[in-house]
Structure 1
């Protein structure tokens, strides 16, 4: 599916440096908003059980190349056609990687949304940085920071983001290893196969991912009629529809199919997939991601273990 936007949306001609300056100007206010949101949900945030080298059982998960054969649970594996290993609870902080998509399409904001997709994604990531830092976790942004532990983790991450003039549209994820989590906030409007190819390295390394799809309401409902000009924010290409309403049904089917395919793929990998609309509360996504990260034996429950 191609990324599309209204004629009033930012186009691909906007330079990356200009986007960096816009992001830098937004970050201080977004950090304040992130902390406000955190204060509304912090009462439900508790220390997480984590996968690692402890003695207590945490979850079953599919066997991946590199796992020790001795950790395979043959009894669980005999129930179906997959091979499972037993994960145990981690006894110390591990790393949670955080990333918000800086692509041009994330600048889009329709009249029905309060903020752009980029602003919502950054608020979510900074709020998660605040929550995780308070819990004593190591956090990091791929390609921007090394993992670190600090009570002021969100503030440190915000400072790094404000100083970064250019961020890659897709960071290299190959250095993220097992016993890590990664939270990715994006609109995920690239072709599904491209997204899977980019994230496949995480699955092969046994990393647990949590995808947050940030969606503008107009992108989902396609409320256009009459003569309408659309602009691709990535390429700048334009499309003029004489009767935009005739495109609506097919567009909505393709949009929903993309989301369904990605969500199903994540479920099969034991990952989580959350949708957050920019006309709704950011805290809704925080609660859902928190539940996914704190669920005891989450994968086992989904597979009937």
Structure 2
């Protein structure tokens, strides 16, 4: 086994380098598409405004007993019989960690999907980077890019990804801090125990997570029949089914049960879980995540 391991290591290294070169070649097209998706979503994308220390006016609200009298806006209060406080907008930049799954299973694309899961995950990640950067947020990618703030955040992140020679199957969340958001874009076909353990580590660190499951339509409907050969993209193992349609019902049950387990875990933690099929617009996932990040439970 040691000899096999020694032979396998150079092959894995060569594959990682090939993947890095492929990502680098895709960067221009990825950025163009990510900006197109971002511009599609921008009409409904508003800054994640929060009350706090700052100079910009946010809103008037009723005065609460015990607050400093200096906070009362007497001009606004003079208009009716109520006393109002002028709230200012929180101006501290927030950190949002972005992660796109690099696993081999993400390269899958059936005839029912418009793009591969990998392409869709990178588009969503870079489009989020574009929109968050425009909003003045700090963005980061575990193991690839530390938190930074820049107007060209998508371009900087794409460049960092293109130069990454190796990427772990699951993100290293050791640097994710309390009150940060983290967006995980994946097919989540990793062993379920590993995924749940990762989510629990994020919860223990005080982060707020948003999961976007990328699914090819064929993975949901299982459209196969007759003699069919299935190949595991992670291990290369092959299985031949004489009558594939006999497995459809049980397959769909297990596939959806895995999804529901993850979604339930997220709901229990107060996090969001979104499914984006590769035959649907990427902008749908952006808007759903933005809604959850900007909602009442958003970190301040």
TM-score normalized with structure 1 length: 0.79
**Aligned-pair distance for 1:154?**
0.5
Which whole-Å CA distance do the structure 2 matches of 1:178 and 1:171 have between them? 17
- Residues 51, 141 of structure 1: alpha-carbon distance in 2 compared, 3 angstrom cutoff: farther
Q: Secondary structure at the match of 2:147?
A: coil
Q: Which residue of 2 aligns with 1:255?
A: 255
Partner of 1:86: none
- Displacement, 1:43? 1.6
In structure 1, the residue matched to 2:278 is 278
2:144 partner SS: coil
SS at the partner of 1:15?
Answer: helix
Partner Cα separation in structure 2 for residue 16 and residue 174 of structure 1:
23
CA distance in 2, matches of 1:53, 1:236: 55
State the alpha-carbon separation in 2 of the partners of residues 138 and 289 from structure 1: 17
How far apart are 1:91 and its partner, in Å? 4.3
SS at match of 1:212: strand
Q: CA deviation at 1:47?
A: 1.2
1:206 aligns with 2:206: yes
After superposition, residues 10-25 of structure 1 pair within 5 angstroms as: 15-25=15-25
- The offset of 1:14, in angstroms, is 8.6
Alpha-carbon offset, residue 94 of structure 1? 1.5
Q: Which moved more, 1:41-50 or 1:96-105?
A: 41-50
Matches within 5 A, 1:55-204: 91-204=91-204
For the structure 1 residues 29 and 268, does the alpha-carbon distance in structure 2 shift closer, same or farther, using more than 3 Å as the test? same
Partner of 1:48 in structure 2?
48
- Residue number in structure 1 paired with 2:246: 246
Contact 1:272 1:289 in 2 (8 A): yes
Q: Which has the higher contact order (CA 8 A, sep 6+)?
A: 1
Structure 2 CA distance for aligned equivalents of residues 14 and 100 of structure 1 = 21
Closer/same/farther in 2, CA of residues 22 and 32 from structure 1, 3 Å limit: same
Q: Is the 8 A contact 1:182 1:209 kept in 2?
A: yes
Separation in 1 of the partners of 2:205 and 2:53? 17
Gaps of 5+ in 1: 1-11, 57-88, 300-305
For normalisation by structure 2, the TM-score amounts to 0.80
Relative to structure 1, the CA distance from residue 244 to residue 212 in structure 2 (aligned partners, 3 Å threshold; closer, same or farther) is same
Q: Describe the superposition over 1:200-245 as per-residue Cα deviations: whole angstroms up to 9, x where unpaired.
A: 2110011000000000001111100000000000011110000000
User: CA separation in 1, counterparts of 2:262 and 2:98?
Assistant: 19
Question: Closer, same or farther in 2 for the Cα pair 1:16/1:292, shift >3 Å?
Answer: same
Equivalent pair of 1:229/1:239 in contact (CA under 8 Å): yes
Residue in 2 that maps onto 1:75? none
Deviates more, 1:16-25 or 1:36-45: 16-25
288-297 or 20-29: bigger deviation: 20-29
Cα distance between partner residues in 2 of 1:233 and 1:166: 17
